[in-house]
Amino acid sequence: MKKLEFNDIHTQKKQKKLREMMIKTVSRLAELKNDNPVLDSCPICPSTKIEFFVNAYQFDISSCLDCGLLFCNPYPTKEQINAYYNSEMKSFENEFFRDSFEKRINIFLPRIELIQKYKSHGKLLDVGSAIGIFIEALHRASCSFDLACCDMSEEACRELGERYPDVKILNQDYLDMDVDSQFDVITLWDTIEHIVDSKAMLQKTHHLLKDDGIFVFSTPNTDSFEWICAREKHVQILPPGHVNLMNYKCIDILLRNNSFRIAEAFTLNSSLDISYVKKIIEKNEVDRSAIGNFLWQEVFDPDFERVLEEYLMNKKKAGNIVVVARKM
């Protein structure tokens, strides 16, 4: 399989129009009153070491200096969030998901293998299915799960219902969902960053998951090559869609505080990080020295040292050259 690159899953059209669409959409949201409190402690860990991180699309983002959580501060109101998801921004997003559908299937195949390590059949609930790329990947991998999908978007649910008549479609807010049975697997792919009340999401998941079930999710990882390089310029800083951006440390605390524990965690597709960082440096979106942010953090790690040592030798980039020459 070809390595996944940033441009494969973020089409040119998306890259060109995202900012413009966001500015248009959020200028309308800013007119809606937000009387949510500005938090002076972290909603996850709960440190009081909170710092302003960036203002993006008229929303302030704070960072927790202890666990690293980046969060909208104040959080957007329900009205702002509803307006956002019912704006043309959502249709635009569904459109670029459609344009990159085939490429995105590849993101899900290793995730399906991971699920199958734990469960090969039973009831699977996918939350925030959007246009169903994961559902399609499950079909292609001939999985034998009994599938249900939950999504707030009417447009997405209509499309899912037409394409997959075998799947139970729940067009509602996950937090309001009430079904009389429990699930073996609950998946939230790149969805938890959209949820203001992470605690309520985990309580709901706890309630809906069988005792031996698995909760599997993905979310942007702010403690990563691409995030440490891009920082406040990262393309995923997209309030009020993305309201909580996390890393391993925040996730671990959040789960433990809500009666879950991490069984395994991975970061896959690092080729996306490399292609994204190259792109933002080439386009001058960040300074070349941004890479230094990451190197400074990693250079003291013995694993990194070993890999770098080998890389420098292989590429003849170590600081002393030994030459063997022969007569011609």
User: Under the rule (CB under 5 A), what is the footprint of Zn ion?
Assistant: 42, 44-45, 47, 64, 66-67, 69
Residue with tokens 């399906």: 112
Which C-beta is closer to Zn ion: that of 43 or that of 239?
43
* Residue 222 CB, nearest approach to Zn ion (Å): 12
Which C-beta is closer to Zn ion: that of 69 or that of 160?
69
* Residue 197 CB, nearest approach to Zn ion (Å): 16
* Residue 68 CB, nearest approach to Zn ion (Å): 7
Cα gap 55→71, rounded to integer Å = 11
Which C-beta is closer to Zn ion: that of 69 or that of 72?
69
Cα gap 145→265, rounded to integer Å = 23
Q: Would you give the distance in Å from CA 284 to the centre of its chain? A: 24
* Residue 42 CB, nearest approach to Zn ion (Å): 3
Nearest to 113 by CA among 316, 264, 255: 264
CB atoms within 10 A of CB 146: 15
* Residue 134 CB, nearest approach to Zn ion (Å): 30
Which C-beta is closer to Zn ion: that of 56 or that of 69?
69
Which C-beta is closer to Zn ion: that of 67 or that of 157?
67
* Residue 28 CB, nearest approach to Zn ion (Å): 31
Nearest to 129 by CA among 102, 158, 103: 158
Phi, psi (deg, nearest 5) at residue 177: -70, 135
Exposed e or buried b for every residue in 200-239, given b needs 16+ CB within 10 A?
ebbebbeebbeeebbbbbbbbbbebbbbbbbbeebbbbbb
Which C-beta is closer to Zn ion: that of 160 or that of 254?
254
Gyration radius of the chain's alpha carbons: 22
Helices 154-163 and 88-99 pack at an angle, to 10 degrees, of 30
Which C-beta is closer to Zn ion: that of 70 or that of 89?
70
* Residue 203 CB, nearest approach to Zn ion (Å): 19
Beta-ladder partners of 146: 123
Q: 3-class DSSP state for residue 225?
A: helix
